[in-house]
Amino acid sequence: MEDEPQELQLARQRLVEHLKHEGIRDRAVLEAIESVPRHVFVYEHLLERAYDDAPLPIGHGQTISQPYIVAQMTATLCHGKRLKKVLEIGTGCGYQTAVLAKLVEQVYSIERIKNLSQVAQMTLKNLNIENVTLKYGDGYQGWVEYAPYDGILVTAAPEHIPETLLNQLAEGGRMVIPVGELGYQKLMLIEHHQGNFKQTFLEGVRFVPLMPGLDE
């Protein structure tokens, strides 16, 4: 981003410093956060808050995730490796998608709200991010065409881990997913080894719910 106002660049650097303070150590993730302009993913009237460590509304009752959560989920998913194929459920505005795209070879991302998927597609194209493939669809089904995935990142919370997604996780693959009822969920890491799915609790989080079916 060469032609962006310096203020925004500084705000982004301050956000990265804040994330380090909060315990995010993965350098590649911090660099990705520093290089993705979060402000282009939010409404213009929220520009001044684009680099707050907070979720913000993106329309349709949905939110762009808090940067700390994006960093934490991405670091846990990638675990210091450059993953080949990652599936994201819940594209939203595409911010998390863009951060992942900096760190993995190919990102597939599904969104059930058509307008959000279309806007995300445009935003990512304007940023010349090419290693992402978006789909308007129901994430509960996963995306069988490209399965299995080395990583699956879910950015909305189901009450139970969908078995369909477990079935699309490669051997040695990792899934990061918030699970539970509206208001409080457990962020979980799932590791797949020979048909076993080891679950590790990471922290308490608040996500929008994973909804069944499509929304026009």
Name the residues annotated as catalytic: 65
**Restricting to residues 89-108, which ones interact with ligand SAH according to CB under 6 A?**
89-90, 92-93, 95-96
**Restricting to residues 183-212, which ones interact with ligand SAH according to CB under 6 A?**
208, 210-211
Task: Select 65 or 168, whichever has its Cβ closest to ligand SAH.
Answer: 65
| Residue 111 β-bridge partners | 136
**Restricting to residues 33-72, which ones interact with ligand SAH according to CB under 6 A?**
62-65
| Residue 181 CB, nearest approach to ligand SAH (Å) | 15
Separation between Cα atoms, residue 62 and residue 156, nearest integer Å: 10
Q: Residues binding ligand SAH: what is the number (CB under 6 A)?
A: 23
Amino acid at 124: L
Task: Select 176 or 210, whichever has its Cβ closest to ligand SAH.
Answer: 210
Query: What is the pairing mode between strands 196-205 and 85-89?
Result: unpaired
Region class of 204: left (phi > 0), else alpha (psi between -120 and 50), else beta? beta
Q: Are 39 and 8 in contact (CB under 8 A)?
A: yes
Based on its alpha-carbon atoms, the radius of gyration of the chain, rounded to whole angstroms, reads: 16
123 binds ligand SAH (CB under 6 A): no
Among 149, 24, 29, which residue's Cα sits nearest to residue 89? 149
Contact string 128-167 vs ligand SAH (x = CB under 6 A): ----------xxx--------------xx-----------
Give the count of alpha carbons within 13 A of 133, CB side only: 9
Q: Are 49 and 14 in contact (CB under 8 A)?
A: no
| Residue 193 CB, nearest approach to ligand SAH (Å) | 27
Task: Select 26 or 138, whichever has its Cβ closest to ligand SAH.
Answer: 138
Q: Which residues bind ligand SAH (CB under 6 A)?
A: 62-65, 89-90, 92-93, 95-96, 110-113, 116, 138-140, 155-156, 208, 210-211
